[in-house]
């Protein structure tokens, strides 16, 4: 009898040690239709999109130039700029790290350095000028995505070299914080392959999402530079295989995230990965949270919308689609979010 009691007690203690996360419930889908531009763009799928004033800034991963400027009103290409390469004005693996006023940040994932350009230079120069290079301190870290945070910091998704998948850096790219509730303390690793995702900030708040798993978290940076989690939520409870997420049992998560003044927009897969059907696995849903973690809307598009940005007035989604071919489409949501 005593042995049975010990077994039951051990089972209960083991069960309680697994953290239970808040599960978000998808609201009923709200159909939205993408509007094509009259001017056709011939391009590869963009790695990121942002809107500055009335212009779209698209970042590519291949081609002659990695930056493309497009008129957000009519879809007409204005210019391309930014060469691939290892020269003083070039980037090997350029990644857009956001804007701060009229300054645009570009990080080279391969070379692990950051350069800053004025929006005026990007619009008017024939080529990117030489710019001050800030090297990432501690080259053992691999940061996939980053965004400027609260003017004087950066926040990013780190997949190698840190025990947690969110990294906070100062302006000189010194690490000042590392955080994240997934993986939990029983499954930590410095190879965070299955925990990578996207980040987006607004003021001193930022949202972090995972691509391989439906997880979202919202943080607020404090006056001393530390970051406090406000809330987090999952599409389902995480399932681990050793120190990684078990992707064979979990649905894919978020392709991109954009935090605005009032909302957090996330393009969402919500499907299990199937190698035989991988060409049809694309994000066609856009989940809209408020800053308090309430899931307000579940927008559904017939065309994929992985990479996207939101207008400053929060009335328009600009998204890259692959269906039927690569293009930028717009969604009018002015009557959906009120």
List pLDDT tens digits, range 230-259: 999 999 999 999 999 999 999 999 999 999
Question: Which 8-state DSSP code applies to residue 277?
Answer: G
- The yes-or-no verdict on residue 203 having pLDDT over 70 is yes
Q: pLDDT grade, residue 129 (50/70/90)?
A: very high
First CA to last CA distance, the chain? 62
Q: How far apart are CA 127 and CA 80, in angstroms?
A: 9
Instruction: Supply the pTM of this predicted model.
Output: 0.93
Element (H, E) at 15: helix 2-17
More reliable by pLDDT, 102 or 56: 56
Question: Residue 276's pLDDT is what?
Answer: 77
Dihedral of CA atoms 208, 210, 216, 219 in degrees, nearest 10, equals -20
Question: Residue 4's pLDDT is what?
Answer: 40
- The separation between CA 332 and the C-alpha centre of its own chain, rounded to angstroms, equals 22
List pLDDT tens digits, range 165-176: 999 999 999 999
Question: Residue 14's pLDDT is what?
Answer: 37
Over its C-alpha atoms, the chain yields an Rg (Å, rounded) of 21
CA angle at 267 for the pair 265 and 271, rounded to the nearest 5°: 140
Question: Residue 190's pLDDT is what?
Answer: 86
Residue 78: C-alpha distances to residues 67, 192, 312, 327 (Å): 11, 39, 21, 16
> Quick one: average pLDDT of 116-124?
96
- Residue with the two structure tokens 């992707």: 247
- The yes-or-no verdict on residue 108 having pLDDT over 60 is yes
DSSP-derived 3-state class of residue 123: helix
């Amino acid at each position: 009898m005593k042995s049975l009691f010990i077994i039951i007690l051990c089972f209960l203690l083991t069960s309680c040690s697994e953290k239970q996360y808040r599960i978000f419930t998808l609201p009923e889908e709200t159909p939205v239709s993408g509007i094509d531009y009259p001017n056709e763009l011939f391009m590869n799928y963009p790695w990121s999109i942002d809107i500055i004033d009335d212009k779209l800034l698209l970042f590519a991963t291949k081609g002659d130039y990695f930056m493309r400027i497009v008129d957000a009103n009519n879809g007409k290409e204005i210019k391309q700029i930014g060469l691939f390469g290892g020269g003083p004005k070039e980037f090997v693996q350029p990644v857009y790290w956001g804007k701060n006023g009229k300054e645009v940040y570009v990080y080279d994932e391969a070379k692990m350095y950051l350069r800053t350009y004025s929006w005026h230079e990007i619009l008017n120069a024939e080529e990117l000028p030489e710019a001050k290079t800030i090297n990432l301190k501690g080259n053992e870290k691999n940061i996939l995505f980053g965004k400027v945070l609260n003017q004087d910091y950066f926040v990013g998704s780190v997949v190698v070299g840190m025990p947690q998948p969110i990294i906070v850096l100062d302006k000189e790219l010194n690490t000042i914080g590392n955080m994240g509730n997934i993986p939990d303390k029983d499954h930590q690793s410095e190879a965070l392959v299955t925990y990578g995702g996207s980040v987006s900030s607004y003021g001193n708040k930022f949202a972090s999402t995972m691509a391989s798993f439906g997880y979202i978290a919202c943080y607020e940076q404090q006056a001393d530079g530390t970051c406090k989690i406000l809330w987090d939520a999952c599409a389902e409870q995480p399932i681990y295989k050793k120190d990684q997420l078990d992707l064979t049992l979990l649905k894919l998560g978020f392709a991109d995230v954009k935090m605005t003044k009032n909302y957090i927009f996330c393009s969402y897969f919500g499907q299990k990965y199937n190698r035989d059907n991988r060409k049809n696995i694309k994000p066609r849903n856009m989940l809209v949270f408020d800053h308090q973690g309430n899931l307000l809307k579940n927008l559904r598009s017939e065309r994929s919308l992985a990479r996207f940005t939101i207008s400053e007035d929060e009335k328009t989604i600009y998204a890259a689609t692959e269906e039927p071919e690569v293009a930028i489409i717009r969604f009018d949501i002015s009557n959906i979010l009120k």
